[in-house]
Amino acid sequence: MLAASTFSIRSSSPRIGDVIQKLAPFLKMYGEYVKNFDKAMELITIWSEKSPRFQELIDDIQKRKVCANLTLQHHMLEPVQRIPRYELLLKDYVRKLPPKSPDRADAEKALEMIFMVAKHSNAAIAEMERLQNLWEVYQRLGLEDDIVDPSNELIKEGPILKISSRNNTSEKYLFLFNNMLLYCVPKVIQVGSEFQVHLRIDVDGIKVRELNDTQFPHTFLVSGKQRTLELQARSREEMNSWIKAFQDAIDRKEKSSESFKIAVHRPETAPSPLKTEELGRRAPQWVRDNLVTMCMRCKEPFNAIMRRRHHCRACGYVVCARCSDYKAELQYDGNRLNRVCQECYIFLMGHVALEDREGKHKGILEREAAEISGRSLLCSSLQLLDKNGKGGMRGWFVIPRDDPLVLYIYAAPQDVRAHTSIPLLGYQVKDLSQSDSRHVFQLAQSRQVYTFVADTEELKRRWMRAMERSAAGITQPEEDEDTDSSEEAE
């Protein structure tokens, strides 16, 4: 009697929402099937081509009445399509239910559960694709044990140019993961792997910033604890894409580590020195050889025979053999002994420091080019012609903001001592471009004449304007002129 009454109620008020709610959790098992669907389809295709006997068996099954003239691949696709079909049917069912239907609440809850099942299946597919792509990358890298990790996520890969301290470039290849950067070299003979991993840099502690370099455009600096790299992209768009990818990796790492500090991105013309607490703990940016003509510690000029260039592995300065005849353990290089300059050795080893140089009075020429270029009214490369107006020296010219009446001339933009200086007060500035096809201008006072050649007409006009103001004794920069000292004049 009770059963008949219940059946009567069910017949008069049919419901399916409550039934689907009970079955929906079990539908997640389709996720495993969907995850391996592409691989299964690929195996059937491979063995159908390899084995005629296998193909005959498949053909025999497909001819049976139960298959309804459909292929095996079509039947395999049915479970993949089942969850989306359930979702579409339930959406249509909920839309057509009366507002006061007793099944509305259960149907809406069931639709929500089916939506979560579909989301689970999609996530399973995405995860499978990620692992497949990751495995292919690992195969290209030679399946090295310390690299293969299924939890890694590839953010970006691509070719790049590496700028060496000797001013050369070489083709490299980068793989940027969520937790590490792999610095690789393409193999000439690709047997077993496509690339050879030269260096691994942890994303934890990495910093990236754009560099303003007229000789190498589209360059950026990647500074990690293990190594610092100067890299050149093929275009500004590609450079921005790499910087964005690095920032994405940094941001992800920051979320998992509250103590991580994001690198400050600011274009600079000169390498920024490491902070004292980072000395030996982080790989420095090496100052390029062609940017200096003298030792950055003792200020003695370099020559090819007696005084050669070396790099301090702690601070990255270019120094002579005498100033770098020291060895110290560097944390970023696994505490191995490395060549360092005297000042870094004193700091790292804790020995008694030499006489403090900062307390000494510096001569007018003993000002570092990078230091005063960073806060200058104008700085750039110019050519100073000889008296015949033909040859001459090319150097780095600076009018400091704190000494605006003097022109400092350096042989290179990273020198620690000026070659000479010219007090500009009282000079006349003349434009000689009408009599010369080059961008030529002069400083003249009595019998003293200096002739300069700029790289562009715009740069020549900027120098003439700056020198005219200094010659007139005007010490304040023009308000409407951009005198950002961190930007190199072009």
The CATH code of the domain at 154-256 is 2.30.29.30
Q: Is-contact 414 292, C-beta < 8 A?
A: yes
Q: What is the pLDDT of residue 446?
A: 76
By C-alpha distance, which of 127, 141, 223 is closest to 184?
141
pLDDT per residue over 417-474, tens digit each? 887 888 888 889 988 877 777 889 999 887 788 889 998 889 999 999 999 998 888 8
The answer regarding whether domain 278-349 maps to CATH 3.30.40.10 reads yes
> Which pair of structure tokens corresponds to residue 412?
């290179």
pLDDT per residue over 216-229, tens digit each? 899 999 988 888 89
The CATH fold of domain 15-140: Dbl Homology Domain; Chain A (1.20.900)
How far apart CA 153 and CA 250 sit, in angstroms, is 13
How far apart CA 331 and CA 226 sit, in angstroms, is 9
Q: What is the pLDDT of residue 490?
A: 37
How far apart CA 464 and CA 453 sit, in angstroms, is 11
Q: What is the pLDDT of residue 234?
A: 92
- 289: helix, coil or strand? helix
Domain boundaries, the chain: 15-140, 154-256, 278-349, 369-471
Same CATH fold assignment for domains 15-140 and 154-256? no
Low-confidence ranges of the chain (pLDDT < 70): 1-14, 145-146, 190, 256-277, 304-306, 350-364, 389-390, 478-490
> Which pair of structure tokens corresponds to residue 77?
């696709």
Q: Is-contact 182 148, C-beta < 8 A?
A: no
Contacts of 36 (CB under 8 A, 6+ apart): 128
| CATH class, 369-471 region | mainly beta
Q: What is the pLDDT of residue 241?
A: 94
Q: What is the pLDDT of residue 484?
A: 40
By C-alpha distance, which of 71, 40, 34 is closest to 55?
71
